[in-house]
Structure 1
Amino acid sequence: MERRPRRRLLLHGLVGLALLLADLPALASSLAAWRITRQGALELRTSPNVSLQAFFEAGTRLRGPRVWVDLPGAPSRTRSIRGSGDVREVRIGRPTPDTTRLVLEFRPGTELNPADLRLVGTAADRWRMDLRGLSRPVLLGLGEGDIEGSATVAYSPPAPFPTSGAPLSADGLPVVPRDRFKVVIDPGHGGPDPGAVGIGGLRETDVVLDVSLQVARLLQARGVQVVMTRTSEVDVDLPPRVALANRVGADVFVSVHANALSMARPDVNGIETFYFSSSSSRRLAGSLQGQMLAVSPGSPDRGVKAGRFFVIRRTVMPSALVEMGFVTGGLDSPRLANPAHRRRLALALAAGVLQYLGGR
């Protein structure tokens, strides 16, 4: 299920929620620059595609709350930086030999609601957290390094994409001219946003990422250039997903999701695909829908429908959003939890994309 544009990485208590992309070797700190803006936002620039963990600890009567972020790679030196406003101190530490820790310690009495602290990846090397609740603004100049740097907007994972199980074969899939087409695959949700959670704790993010990674490999095997909005459990807001697709000049955009209803309604199952308005998007959606139904016997056909989801409404190329079944459905959920069925869905989606490209 798609979500509205929002910022994500909730920090609760001492529990860290990881934003995962491909890990870099821990040879040097992946923290390139940081700053706290006058408006009260923490901004980070890191090495592209790294893992982050963020934490929150409530304050006491004598000590203010703390927020810290752990990154791979050791810092060149540990240090403390005097803060300003409600920020008492910023520390760069090394809790383990291969970890950098950026700690923001706030003054006693500072009120921070952990539910409002959301760290979001705005690009493969950029992160932002709004520190809502600060009453005294931070002075200019609190930070280190060049925060602007060279921005990385597109996520460009190495080929082949990692995926579980043995690689699928593209034999039998439609053939298109090699190196002519570019496709963006958008696995919905991710990181601390699991999407829908269904029977047996089945999470939408796990299903759609597994399928999407396999679709990417299949399309690559047919000579299609593939760009993914995420390649692991990282949360990417909706506008950057759209910006990525529009920026790289994709021929096709496919957002991959799984549906949900109430856990009390396991009788509701089925596959549906959405498009926004254009006839080309309608044809793309129809191709994807037909292929998914072919590998899901008995699953109801909920149809090809016009929808106003952000990612298909704002992309400029033919776009579709697929719902591969209900994680709350008595029929669909066991299938979506089955790696063999997810492989069949990956083949179906790859076939649907190739069928559309071949008919252009």
Structure 2
Amino acid sequence: MFEARRWASSLMAGVLAAQLIPVLPARAFSRLAAWAITAKGELLLRTSPNLDLDAFFKDGDGRYGDRIWIDFPGSPQRPRKIPGKGAVREIRVGMPERGVTRLVIEFKRGVELDPSKLRLVGLDWDSWRMRFPLQDARFVAMGEGILEREVPFPSGPTMPGLSRAPLRTLTVASLPWVRRGAYRVMLDPGHGGKDPGAIGIGGTREKDVVLDVSRQVASHLRSKGVVVKMTRRSDATVDLPPRARLSNQWRPDAFVSIHANAISMRRPEVNGLETFYFQSFQGKKLSSLIHDSILRTVRRKDRGVKEARFYVIRRTNSPASLVELGFLTGTADAADLADPAHRRQLALAIAVGILNYLRVAG
């Protein structure tokens, strides 16, 4: 028999009955978008609109440790169990009944929570926090999804302009966590073989740049347990229909085509990053996350996330994105794309964007 209590709906502490209710706001997101446990011992949530959160506590027994769970309207795309770290034994995302997503945080046996000190507090219209008041417990940061609203998923091009100075220098340690073996990604290095693609300043060829970047992205994704295939792994000629057909036969969770742009050599002032999707909310989300990750990593003019009818993203059934890394005919972009160190940062940024998409898409 367990003892269940409710968290007070005011800022005052109180020991109440079975259901635990949040403080404020009364409405938040329609489904779970992201969660994280911080090293400080906090649970952070981001949700979708029009939602009343239901939160519960259950004492541990001989089989389970103390558990907190929160219910969200909407079914999870992928029920899963995630091994915990530190004081947390396991995180579970499941569906206790049709149309309900349940996030369960189970603590290790011997870690005892006092439910009268627990509060699920609304920080903003889309974000929540719960602190775990455990002085001697060790917490390790972990989570899924993106807590910050850093990508608006615009309906048209994003606001143009030059991105700010690099906000970060990425390393392999920067790559987000995803469940190993759970996802498949198809990478499509543009052109190849007899088709060099764009040829830019200094004779830099698009097919060489994008193959190098794609190979690095593949390596980073594989290091996180993602299963990766490439439409070409060498300087080979591959027509467009076989690329889309290969993806549709394999049915990856995401398809990412990597290209470099070009315009007349007489227009060296034209530079910038463009990312494209075709008539798909998931494709738009994937494109936006990759685009934003690149802009937060390298200095690049932002030419926007746009809808387009490129063959491979139009004929691919999976969520698809086509990234134009920059203009090989642009003075600034050409110098960057010819630089191996810059390409390493681009590859890490693309990998981060893809991994963040997989975490959000579930």
CA distance in structure 2 between the partners assigned to 1:260 and 1:311 by the alignment? 19
CA distance in structure 2 between the partners assigned to 1:292 and 1:172 by the alignment? 13
The structure 2 residue matched to 1:284, chosen from 283, 286, 291, is 286
Asked if residue 327 in structure 1 is aligned to residue 325 in structure 2, the reply is no
Equivalent runs, 1:176-215 vs 2, <5 Å: 176-215=178-217
Equivalent runs, 1:150-229 vs 2, <5 Å: 170-229=172-231
Asked if residue 318 in structure 1 is aligned to residue 319 in structure 2, the reply is yes
Residue number in structure 2 paired with 1:39: none
Given that 1:169 and 1:218 are in contact with CA atoms closer than 8 Å, whether structure 2 keeps it comes out as no
Given that 1:184 and 1:245 are in contact with CA atoms closer than 8 Å, whether structure 2 keeps it comes out as yes
Given that 1:185 and 1:227 are in contact with CA atoms closer than 8 Å, whether structure 2 keeps it comes out as yes
CA distance in structure 1 between the partners assigned to 2:209 and 2:349 by the alignment? 15
In structure 2, give the amino acid aligned to 1:330.
T
Cα distance, 1:169 vs structure 2: 5.8
- DSSP 3-state at the match of 1:359: helix
In structure 1, give the amino acid aligned to 2:215.
L
- DSSP 3-state at the match of 1:253: strand
In structure 2, give the amino acid aligned to 1:347.
L
- DSSP 3-state at the match of 2:173: coil
In structure 2, give the amino acid aligned to 1:218.
H
- DSSP 3-state at the match of 2:258: strand
Residue number in structure 2 paired with 1:355: 356
Equivalent runs, 1:199-278 vs 2, <5 Å: 199-278=201-280
* 1:175-219 deviation per Cα after TM superposition (whole angstroms, max 9, x unaligned): 111100000000000011100000000100010000000000000
In structure 2, give the amino acid aligned to 1:184.
M
Q: Which structure 1 residue ranges, 5 or more long, are not aligned? A: 1-167
CA distance in structure 2 between the partners assigned to 1:179 and 1:170 by the alignment? 18
* 1:3-55 deviation per Cα after TM superposition (whole angstroms, max 9, x unaligned): xxxxxxxxxxxxxxxxxxxxxxxxxxxxxxxxxxxxxxxxxxxxxxxxxxxxx
Given that 1:187 and 1:255 are in contact with CA atoms closer than 8 Å, whether structure 2 keeps it comes out as yes
In structure 2, give the amino acid aligned to 1:284.
L
Identical pairs, percent: 56
CA distance in structure 1 between the partners assigned to 2:171 and 2:224 by the alignment? 10
Larger Rg computed on CA atoms: 2
Between 168-177 and 301-310, the greater mean CA deviation after superposition: 168-177
Cα distance, 1:291 vs structure 2: 1.0
Cα distance, 1:337 vs structure 2: 0.1
CA distance in structure 2 between the partners assigned to 1:201 and 1:213 by the alignment? 21
Equivalent runs, 1:112-127 vs 2, <5 Å: none
CA distance in structure 1 between the partners assigned to 2:333 and 2:255 by the alignment? 25
In structure 2, give the amino acid aligned to 1:207.
V
- DSSP 3-state at the match of 1:303: strand
RMSD over equivalenced CA pairs, Å? 1.0
Residue number in structure 2 paired with 1:337: 338
Residue number in structure 2 paired with 1:307: 308
Equivalent runs, 1:82-93 vs 2, <5 Å: none
CA distance in structure 2 between the partners assigned to 1:332 and 1:172 by the alignment? 24
CA distance in structure 1 between the partners assigned to 2:277 and 2:204 by the alignment? 26
In structure 2, give the amino acid aligned to 1:222.
K
- DSSP 3-state at the match of 1:346: helix
- DSSP 3-state at the match of 2:195: coil
- DSSP 3-state at the match of 2:232: coil
CA distance in structure 2 between the partners assigned to 1:274 and 1:190 by the alignment? 20
In structure 2, give the amino acid aligned to 1:178.
R
Please identify runs of 4+ aligned residues in structure 1 that moved more than 3 A: none
Cα distance, 1:339 vs structure 2: 0.2
Q: Which structure 2 residue ranges, 5 or more long, are not aligned? A: 1-169
- DSSP 3-state at the match of 2:331: coil
* 1:312-350 deviation per Cα after TM superposition (whole angstroms, max 9, x unaligned): 001001000000000000110000000000000000000
CA distance in structure 2 between the partners assigned to 1:170 and 1:316 by the alignment? 30
- DSSP 3-state at the match of 2:334: helix
- DSSP 3-state at the match of 2:324: strand
In structure 2, give the amino acid aligned to 1:344.
Q
CA distance in structure 2 between the partners assigned to 1:200 and 1:178 by the alignment? 41
Given that 1:184 and 1:250 are in contact with CA atoms closer than 8 Å, whether structure 2 keeps it comes out as yes
Given that 1:266 and 1:330 are in contact with CA atoms closer than 8 Å, whether structure 2 keeps it comes out as yes
- DSSP 3-state at the match of 2:176: coil
- DSSP 3-state at the match of 1:311: helix
CA distance in structure 2 between the partners assigned to 1:172 and 1:276 by the alignment? 29
CA distance in structure 1 between the partners assigned to 2:348 and 2:284 by the alignment? 20
CA distance in structure 1 between the partners assigned to 2:195 and 2:313 by the alignment? 20
CA distance in structure 2 between the partners assigned to 1:169 and 1:227 by the alignment? 23
Cα distance, 1:170 vs structure 2: 2.7
